[in-house]
Chains A and B, each alone.
Chain A
Amino acid sequence: MLQKLYSSRFTPERNYQIAKWTFFVIALLLIAFAYVDVGTISIGSNNYNLSLIRLNKAIAYTIAILGLQVVIGYTGQIALGQSFFFGTGAYISAWLIADHSWPFLLTLLIVIPSCFLIGMILGLPALRIRGLYLALLTFGLAAVFPSIVKLDKLYGYTGGAGGKLTSNYKFIAPSWLPFDEVAQALQKIPLLGDFFGDGPLSTREESRLWKFILFSLLAGLCFWLVHNLIRSRPGRAMRAIRDNETSAAVSGVNLALTKTLSFGVASALGGIGGAIYVAEIGIASPDDFSSLVAIYLIVGLVVGGVGTLPGAVIGGLIYALVPDWASSTQSISFVPERWLQGPTGSLILGVLLIVLTLFLPGGIVMGWRKFKNKLLGKELSTAR
């Protein structure tokens, strides 16, 4: 790996990669400063909010969907119960923050190993249960999570039906970060400066910005780790199981170990996502982790693209934005009001799920790659 990096240090390919990622990070920061206060896009009489709150939620979903990529996309096990681990991570983190005044990052040290372990243990039956049966069981798991946290016996830990507030913990940006300076510099840009608000940032805005940067870094770390995992030996074993379980087994892949590892990693990622979710909205409440959430995460997985890493980002964004924007849509001409007031977001996500499975099985990412290859192919042929 190192050898490869070294030898390709000065190739155009590597320069392209560096430029791409630098551009990506700058774009992310610009978005962060632009939407630190709620930004509103108006189409017709409808207002759509784009704010860091939504983006932070999107990051939480993205990491949970990344977990689904590992277990469904790369290992081929139909595990539908990601909301269970999303919820478990959320509640563990909330409990540590609210009752033990732990800082957020420190809670991850408990969330990650415990979700990993629970995922591995719950994954054990999956060594015997395959395919549809596993789908059934994991869906059942997702369905029972809210009733478990509502148990009277667990009231002290979970806060019952009312949920667990974590607003005692404030995200305070380290003082050495030059948020104000950057904001004011951006505001001075001619023409575009208006996008970046006015004057220095308030404490709330700074805290929001800090959360976004922190969560983005966490997400980046998760992506880097998963990226390396699927290219490593256990990752190859996972893909072998996905493509053909029997031949993987006869080629010496340890099915039990690989599958439980995959479940563990997926659950740990689900847990991290849940912890971020709670850190963003400030409360863990039972109905935020219902089986509907499990299905929405699957929507994110499929719409982004099963078995692709960037697909998780697209999936997270879609999950965070589509239902929200659907409920902000108050009127569209020719569409009866009734159809905009109900669970329109759910309807759109369901339609997306079906349409993509029927017509674009690789999701948006694969569709984009195909499109790009087509373009590049054409360019090549004209150049010749």
Chain B
Amino acid sequence: MTTPLLRVERLEARYGPVRVLHGIALNVYEKEIVVVLGANGAGKTTVLRSISGMVETSGLIEIGGESIKKLNPSEIVRRGVAHVPQGRGTFPELTVEENLKVGAFIRNDKDINNDIETCYESYPVLYERKTQAAGSLSGGEQQMLAVSRALMSRPKLLLMDEPSLGLAPQIVEDLFARFVTMNQNQGTTMLIVEQNAQLALDIAGRAYVLESGEITLEGQAEELAKDDAIRRAYLGA
């Protein structure tokens, strides 16, 4: 078996005296879309923040077989992990183009402008508004911008924290369809945490279910979608 791109073992995290993750294990292999499902407060966001180095943790976190546990967030980004935080991961006062440039902050190569052009080709809306402040975009557009911003660092792994939050269903569908395209065309590996289980399971290869800081179920997305407990808890069936 190949080494996973992301390997997490025995992950524990706490905010002050409150422990939110109790020994989590999960793997993400290259070119996969993996989903972590869970209700509010299950610790989904903390999983992603732990990987990005934003919270104190114990346990093991590896990218491509190398531990990133002792690194600070800016070094973890340089190891190829991009993170779209919950809500809008954009810089509202900066223009759309500047947002993308910030995304490429860790790069020094000549291809940055090409990548920006590529991004504009896939999202013409962003091109039309490239000199406008990001804060003036609609919710869906901002989410697209946040994802594009994260992709500008040419990550090996893209972490996304509830990309569907606060967006209209149609926009979410469009957004998730784009994730699939991205995954198929560019081979972007993604770890998405979601409450919207239906759509997430549709696009994911594998999935984990997180409850009160523990992984209670894991498997192929198709099979989980058929699981009775999941259907009752997350699919409203």
Direct contact of A and B (CB under 8 A): no
Which residue numbers of B lie inside 8 Å of A, CB to CB?
none
